[in-house]
Chains A and B, each alone.
Chain A
Amino acid sequence: MNSVLHRRANWVIVLTYVVALLLSIWPLPDWAEPFRPAWLLLATVFWCLFLPNRVGLLVTFCAGILLDTLTGSLLGEHALALLLVAWITLKLHLQIRVYPWWQQTLVVLLLMLLYTFVLFWIDGMLGFSLGALLRWMPVLITTLLWPWTAQLLGMLQQRFQVS
């Protein structure tokens, strides 16, 4: 693996993060807003799983802070939830990587539950605990999106030799 290719392929990773952030604030109709998938979580889990030595906790932290700024939530709220998800993914990446796709999806379901729980918990402490049932909707949708996202990002990774 030569280093020129190494450096050039950085933009693929950055691009996926930017797209995830764009999708996180893309205007949806009012009824669809609570169903918005956690795009940044999908990107984080994918890169932490397949490129753990390039995308780690620091990148996750920065992306989380940017998401906090974009969504107007407490600075560090999404960052903390994403950090926990990234940490678990990094710890277990060698195991999760060899799982069949449906087991990977189950892992994403658990990670997404943790992510939602942490956000709900912090919001609850701040007094934004309304819409309790709707909060769990993104869990299902994000989990269902994982196989497709993983497929797409895997194709991107191969096409542009990101390693």
Chain B
Amino acid sequence: MLRLHRLQRAPRLFTPNPAGALRTLLLIAACILLMFYDHQRGHLARVHAALSTVVYPIQAAVNAPYALADWAGEKLATHGTLVRDNATMHRQLLTDAAQLQQFQALAQENARLRDLLQAGKRVDGHVMAATLLAVDMDPFRHVMTLDKGTRAGVFDGQTLLDARGIVGQIIRADPWSSEAALITDPNQAIPVQVNRTGLRTLAVGGVDVNALSLPYLANNADVQVGDLLVTSGLGGRYPAGYPVAVVTRVQRNPAEPFASVSARPVAELNGGHAVLLFFPAVAPPSPPPPPERKVKTPPRKKPR
């Protein structure tokens, strides 16, 4: 009956105004409310989780050709390439292992010295591999999508590393994917120190994805082109001691209170490659056996 009724209805020549005032105003109000609550992070976490699940197939579809190319590259690698890669990796492993021998001793010595200074233990942690999906987001921000979410243990504010240094941090963790802001995002700042001198400052992002700027260094600050910047661990967001960037330009203008210094991130910041999610350990994994005459100090929560 219902169907018959619908078919018999004569087509109207003039359709009712599809842009009615009430509907328009309601939807615009909905947008403004959404923006208002989304701006205060965390209020719309559930809505976001649901929406990110809805759009995940689209992200996966865009990423698919790149994933396929990777996979095909793996499957179709010739014997010669594999042998060459293997040899390179062996050499690399040998070099790294040799350096690690020293590292063990240094780490132990460092822990002992820190104990003597009654400084807290360095935060140690483990990492989990994830992939930055090859999708572009807002062109005026440097934000990336990650293929791991809260189901894999990702959390807000988690540090992202790659083989060379700090990549960024998680700014929103959804169940199946998460959003990461790169260190070069205009809205991000990372506490760093100059590795050579220990000078501490902030590195902030900007428009360029391959540059960080250090706006708070005085004109007479001891900083040179080629200096390595490492995380200082201040603020408690990023773990201390990881490479961030290399200084590429130092311009001292006596008329200005601060020098203009820029640096190039050492990590690879483009999409479509593997990154590491850093999980800080609450307690160090296996503390070295304490020496006999060690003064026990209660470990502090914060690193430094």
Query: A-side interface residues toward B, CB under 8 Å?
Result: 1, 3, 18, 21-22, 25-28, 30, 33-34, 36, 52-53, 56-58, 61, 64-66, 69-77, 79-80, 83-84, 86-87, 90-91, 122-123, 126-128, 130-131, 134-135
Nearest CB to that of A48 among chain B residues?
Answer: B18
Q: Is B143 an interface residue (CB 8 A)?
A: yes
Q: Is B28 an interface residue (CB 8 A)?
A: yes
- The answer to whether B24 touches A83 (Cβ under 8 A) is yes
- The answer to whether B136 touches A33 (Cβ under 8 A) is yes
Taking CB atoms, residues of chain B closer than 8 Å to A21 are: 55, 58
Nearest CB to that of A120 among chain B residues?
Answer: B140
Shortest C-beta distance, B210 to chain A (Å), equals: 8
Query: Which residues from 203 to 249 on chain B have a C-beta closer than 8 Å to any C-beta of chain A?
Result: 206-207, 209
Taking CB atoms, residues of chain B closer than 8 Å to A126 are: 39
- The answer to whether B62 touches A25 (Cβ under 8 A) is yes
Chosen A-B contacts, 18 in total, with CB atoms closer than 8 Å, are: A25-B137, A26-B136, A27-B62, A27-B136, A56-B19, A56-B23, A58-B27, A61-B27, A61-B31, A64-B31, A70-B58, A72-B137, A76-B31, A128-B140, A130-B186, A130-B206, A130-B207, A131-B140
Taking CB atoms, residues of chain B closer than 8 Å to A25 are: 58-59, 62, 135-137
B262-298: CB near A (< 8 Å → 1, else 0) gives 0000000011100000000000000000000000000
- The answer to whether B140 touches A123 (Cβ under 8 A) is yes
Shortest C-beta distance, A11 to chain B (Å), equals: 16
Whole-angstrom CA separation of A91 from B59 in the bound complex: 34
Q: Is B139 an interface residue (CB 8 A)?
A: yes
Taking CB atoms, residues of chain B closer than 8 Å to A70 are: 55, 58-59, 135, 137
- The answer to whether B58 touches A57 (Cβ under 8 A) is no
- The answer to whether B35 touches A74 (Cβ under 8 A) is yes
- The answer to whether B18 touches A56 (Cβ under 8 A) is yes
Q: What 8 pairs across the A-B complex have the smallest Cβ distances?
A: A76-B34, A90-B19, A80-B31, A76-B31, A75-B38, A76-B35, A33-B139, A69-B51
Whole-angstrom CA separation of A123 from B270 in the bound complex: 23
- The answer to whether A52 touches B18 (Cβ under 8 A) is yes
Taking CB atoms, residues of chain A closer than 8 Å to B18 are: 52-53, 56-57, 90
- The answer to whether A75 touches B47 (Cβ under 8 A) is yes
Could you say which interface size class chain B belongs to? 35 or more
Shortest C-beta distance, B170 to chain A (Å), equals: 12
Chain A CB count within 10 A is highest, among B134, B140, B270, for B140
- The answer to whether B179 touches A72 (Cβ under 8 A) is yes
- Pick from A26, A79, A128, A135: contact of B141, CB under 8 Å: A128
Whole-angstrom CA separation of A109 from B101 in the bound complex: 64
Whole-angstrom CA separation of A28 from B134 in the bound complex: 9
Given contacts A52-B18, A77-B35, A80-B31, contact A27 B52 (CB under 8 A): no
- The answer to whether A91 touches B19 (Cβ under 8 A) is yes
Whole-angstrom CA separation of A135 from B140 in the bound complex: 8
Nearest CB to that of B61 among chain A residues?
Answer: A22
- The answer to whether B48 touches A75 (Cβ under 8 A) is yes
Q: Is B129 an interface residue (CB 8 A)?
A: no
- Pick from A36, A69, A127: contact of B136, CB under 8 Å: A36
Whole-angstrom CA separation of A135 from B145 in the bound complex: 22
- The answer to whether B55 touches A75 (Cβ under 8 A) is no
Taking CB atoms, residues of chain A closer than 8 Å to B105 are: none
Nearest CB to that of A26 among chain B residues?
Answer: B62
- The answer to whether B31 touches A83 (Cβ under 8 A) is yes
Taking CB atoms, residues of chain B closer than 8 Å to A69 are: 48, 51-52, 54-55
Whole-angstrom CA separation of A53 from B6 in the bound complex: 16
Whole-angstrom CA separation of A11 from B233 in the bound complex: 52
Whole-angstrom CA separation of A58 from B55 in the bound complex: 18
Shortest C-beta distance, A32 to chain B (Å), equals: 9
